Amino acid sequence: MDLDHPKITVLMPAYNAGKYIGEAIASVLRQSFADFELLIINDGSTDDTVKVVTAFRDKRIVLINKENRGIATALNTGLGLARAPYIARFDADDVCFHDRLKIQYDFITRYPEYSIIGSAADYMDVDGHFIFTHHPVAHLNEEIQLLKYSVCPFIHSSVFYKKEIVINNGGYNEHAYTFEDHFLWVNILKSEKACNLSQSLIKVRLNPESVTIDEKMATAEVQGY
pLDDT along the chain (225 residues), means of 10: 90 96 98 98 97 97 96 95 98 97 98 97 94 95 92 92 95 73 86 97 85 43 36
Q: Where in the chain are the domains? A: 8-222
Residue 179's pLDDT is what?
63
- Predicted model pTM: 0.90
Residue 181's pLDDT is what?
81
Residue 16's pLDDT is what?
96
pLDDT in tens, 53-85: 999 999 999 999 999 999 999 999 999 999 999
Structural class in CATH, domain 8-222: alpha beta
When the pLDDT of each residue in the chain is averaged and rounded to a whole number, the result is 90
Three-state SS annotation for the chain: CCCCCCCEEEEEEECCCCCCHHHHHHHHHCCCCCCEEEEEEEECCCCCHHHHHHCCCCCCEEEEEECCCCHHHHHHHHHHHCCCCEEEECCCCCEECCCHHHHHHHHHHHCCCEEEEEEEEEEECCCCCEEEEECCCCCCHHHHHCCCCCCCCCCHHHCEEEHHHHHHCCCCCCCCCCCHHHHHHHHHCCCCEEEEEEEEEEEEECCCCCCCHHHHHHHHHHCCC
